[in-house]
Amino acid sequence: MGTLTAFIPIILMIVLFYFLLIRPQQKRQKEVTNMQNSLAKGDKIITIGGLHGVVEAIEDGTVVLKAGNTKLTFDRNAIRTVLEKGNTAPAVAPAEPVEETAKETEEK
């Protein structure tokens, strides 16, 4: 019984470290991985080096960024933050054809 009570503080410290350090770090790493995997063309991003740019192209493990008039290739893991998701919808929605009724065609 005495040896079990000696190990209780060590076990509590391990549990405390898990919930205060290990688990939150795993959660942050999962969020970063999801963000990096969801990159799309047109996203405004910041790299870990502080470069602001727009995603121009995405390949397997690399991302081509446009910063000003320059295009740079970075590793996908170098993306720290997505500031703004790119515009995936067309700027102007295509117009749908308007059907004329029989009455309108007779008036013309």
Per-residue pLDDT tens over the stretch 20-58: 999 999 999 999 999 988 899 999 999 999 999 999 999
pLDDT for the residue numbered 88: 53
Rounded Cα distance between 46 and 54, Å, is 9
Domain for residue 103, yes or no? no
Higher pLDDT, 44 or 95: 44
pLDDT band at 86 (very low <50, low <70, confident <90, very high): confident
Give me the domain span that covers residue 53.
3-84
pLDDT for the residue numbered 12: 92
Domain for residue 31, yes or no? yes
CATH of the domain at 34: 2.30.30.100
Domain for residue 10, yes or no? yes
pLDDT for the residue numbered 90: 44
Total number of domains in the chain: 1
Domain for residue 102, yes or no? no
Higher pLDDT, 2 or 107: 2
CB 39 within 8 A of CB 76: yes
Domain for residue 62, yes or no? yes
pLDDT at 108 over 80: no
Domain for residue 52, yes or no? yes
pLDDT at 2 over 70: yes
